[in-house]
Structures are given as C-alpha cells and as structure tokens.
Structure 1
C-alpha cells in the first residue's frame, strides 16, 4: 500500500493539473471535489508519516547538537523539498521557536498548509482592488506606489489536530505564519509553484496600521517591502517516503 505522502502527491496532481476556467461550472465542480479529497488526506497526515521527530527549542536542524540562535547565523526557517511538477510543489517548512514567515503573497496560486507538530498562528489578508466605501484614510502621496488596500480575513491558531489551512488566488492569498510556544513544522502545497518568469514571484508586506484587536474584515494598508533581513530559509534533507509521479 502506498504511503499517505504518496497519496497526497497524487491527489494534488489530480486536483491542480486541470484547474477550473472562469465560467466552467462542471470543471469547477470537479476541482472542488478533488480539492475536498486533498484536504481530507492532508487532515490525516502526521509527522511520523514523514519520519519527522518533533523538535525541542534547543534542537538544531540536524536534531543532533544545540542550535545557535538564528540571529547568530542559523536560519530561522528551513525547508524540506518533497516533490515538484509544473502543476504543484510540495514540501515541509520547519520553524524554530519564535520564528515567523513574514507576510507574503501567492500570486494566482492555490495553497494547502497542514501542521505536523507544534502550533502556528496564521493571519490571512486579501487585496482589495477597489475601495469598498470604508473609512480607511488615504496614505501619504509619497507612499502610494508601494501600497495595497487590503482586508484582514482571518486570524487563527493551528495544530496537528486541526484540518489544513487553504488559500486561493482570490481568498486568504496573503498570509503571515508565526511559530507559537515552540518549534513547529507544516506540510505545504502550492499550485502552481512560484515562478518569477511566469509572474508568480513572492512579495513581502508590512501592515501600516497595527490593530491590537485584529478586527476581522477591517480594511487597512499594506506596504510592499524587501525581504526582511531577519528572515531567510535554509534547506535540509527530507527523510520521509519517496514520492513518484
């Protein structure tokens, strides 16, 4: 019997190989059915299925020796590559205690994220193409070129017992991921993969107005920024079952 990781990869390929076209009701129904099956499979996956051992705050990426704080040179986030096709990529992100993947976007992409151990806090935003009549003040003229009117869609915490977090090209497409109360890891599927040559480059943002209450559906301004200097992603080998497509 094939591993659950293999089954997830095959279902991801079936789901994203033929994404629905605008106005195609039948194609849209088939896509949603496939996506539902993918979400169901990802709900079942656990760290042990990928041969991952949950790490402690003092563990290094190798799990052998204590790690230096990431401010001293070790990356705050590492990535295990599992597989990639023209239609999707799949891998595992591992965040050290206190680490964050800054607010970023996924242009014209779908995504499915499933926590394998630990806990993450995810804040999801959407761009607003046109003002919706809210009272959000206009930004200073000098900043207009790098600003995006957006809305906070949701804030939630996820553990291995939760179902996956799902994003689409037009819903929850920008998000920030924070490790909560220790190290964490999550499986990540992006469809199609990032490809700057095809217009799918990753952009980073900063919320201009901090809102301690994090009021859902609140309109706000995001400013596009360079990749934050305290964030970078290293790589490490994937120890789990082989995936063939």
Structure 2
C-alpha cells in the first residue's frame, strides 16, 4: 500500500477504532484501558476534515425536474467494516433527516465534516418514573400498540459543525437519536461498534415521540414536565431511505 494511505488520517482513525473495540472483555464505561482508547479515538476523530476523505462539500440541491427519478435523501459511503466496528460517511441533503432510531448494545461516534446537523438524543428508562400512572395519549393508542411503548428521557438537543467535538453514544447513553440537516446539505463520519447485525440482536429500530397527558384535568403528566417522553416503535418511515455512493478517500487496511 502507498505510504500516504498508511499514514492517512482515516487509516489512523480506523486503527484506533480497532484497538478500542476489538476486545469485548475490556469494553465498558468502568474499564480504564477502554476509556483511554476511546479518548484517543475521540481526539483523532475531532481532527478529521472533509479534505482528509477527499469529499467536497455539496451545494444546496435544485428543485427536481418533472419525471426525474427522486434521489434518496440520505446516502452512505462505506469505508471499512470488521467484526468489531464499521466506519463510513453519511451525506444528508438539505432538509433531510435520519429519523429517531437506536443502536442496540452499540457504541458510536459521529463527527461532522461539513455543514451542520441537529442531534436529538434520548435515553431509555428501565421503567416510568413516579407520576406516570394514568397516562393517556393523543390520539389514543390501540391496545396492541402499547406493547411498543418505551419510557424514555430527552437528554439533549444540540447542533454540530465541523468545528464541534464528536458526538459520542454508548449502549446506555444517547443511544436513541435523530439527526437533522440544518441550513443546507451536511455530512458526517460515523463509527459504530460493533456493527449492526440482526442475527446478533443488533437491528435498527425506529421510533416516534408520543404526547402524553394525565387523566386528571387533561394536563401534561409529571413525567412530561421532567423531560420524560414515551417512544413508540414504528416501521421505517416511508419518507426515509438511504442510498449508496462510492467512497473517494484513502483506502483503509486492517
């Protein structure tokens, strides 16, 4: 392999991602070795720019021509994947969103390389907090839908640019999130560890936020006032689909 590929920023990031996630026995929020490796990975990721991946920032899209095939709102550039992690770039068109979704049992890092994204992060609760009894929903739910409800809490809503630190998620924190393009097209480098694998119980699930009300006086429930919400698992939204694009940057060898 040419020397410039071996020393490229993306190669360094991939090697550090492998060092961070390849040994499941040391992965955990209380393991010193894992936390040190995760910190190194975050630092490397913080420095990456679109030019390092040979990706040019897109311009706002023009209106579609009648009868023209509609392009996907989101596309993905695959860079590399091992049993331990996957890495690639998501590109969002103006106004596009990656809907509210989860990463079961997975860690992740997201670094914007151009444009701006808004990320809304939720954590799942083991059970509803006190004050959740008597909760009703508008519109009312069918009995079979209640099995898809997940008590959760909105942890944060923030905007990220190429100058921002990476957004970090873990199996317990910020694991459910929505990503919206803000003020034009945007792109971000994405690392997930381990990769999605439905056969191993790591499938992607989508959610919608429900408005909850107490039975008494039709007031918002106490849990809603505390920032707690109810998420209902739904099929993949019809307006969202993801296409593929070739990755133009330096190759990665692991």
What is the TM-score of this pair, normalised by structure 2? 0.85
Structure 1 residues 16-25 or 233-242, which shifts more? 16-25
Equivalent position to 1:33, from 28, 32, 36: 36
Consecutive unaligned residues in structure 1, runs of 5 or more: 60-65
Deviation at 1:129, TM superposition (A): 1.1
2:183 aligned residue: 181
Q: Hey, what's the Cα distance between the residues in 1 that align with 2:65 and 2:107?
A: 35
Retained in 2: the 8 A contact 1:43–1:163? yes
SS state at 2:154 partner: strand
User: Root-mean-square deviation (CA), in Å?
Assistant: 2.4
Q: Hey, what's the Cα distance between the residues in 2 that align with 1:216 and 1:56?
A: 40
1:80 aligned residue: 77
Asked whether 1:243 is paired with 2:252, we answer: yes
Consecutive unaligned residues in structure 2, runs of 5 or more: 213-219
2:12 aligned residue: 7
Q: Hey, what's the Cα distance between the residues in 2 that align with 1:89 and 1:23?
A: 18
Deviation at 1:164, TM superposition (A): 0.2
2:243 aligned residue: 234
Retained in 2: the 8 A contact 1:118–1:183? yes
Deviation at 1:209, TM superposition (A): 1.8
Q: Kindly tell me: are residues 202 and 216 of structure 1, through their superposed partners in 2, closer, same or farther at Cα, counting changes over 3 Å?
A: farther
Deviation at 1:144, TM superposition (A): 1.3
2:158 aligned residue: 156
Q: Report the structure number with the largest CA radius of gyration.
A: 2
Equivalent position to 1:93, from 87, 90, 94: 90
What is the TM-score of this pair, normalised by structure 1? 0.88
Q: Kindly tell me: are residues 131 and 85 of structure 1, through their superposed partners in 2, closer, same or farther at Cα, counting changes over 3 Å?
A: same
Q: Hey, what's the Cα distance between the residues in 1 that align with 2:201 and 2:120?
A: 24
Number of residue pairs matched by the alignment = 233
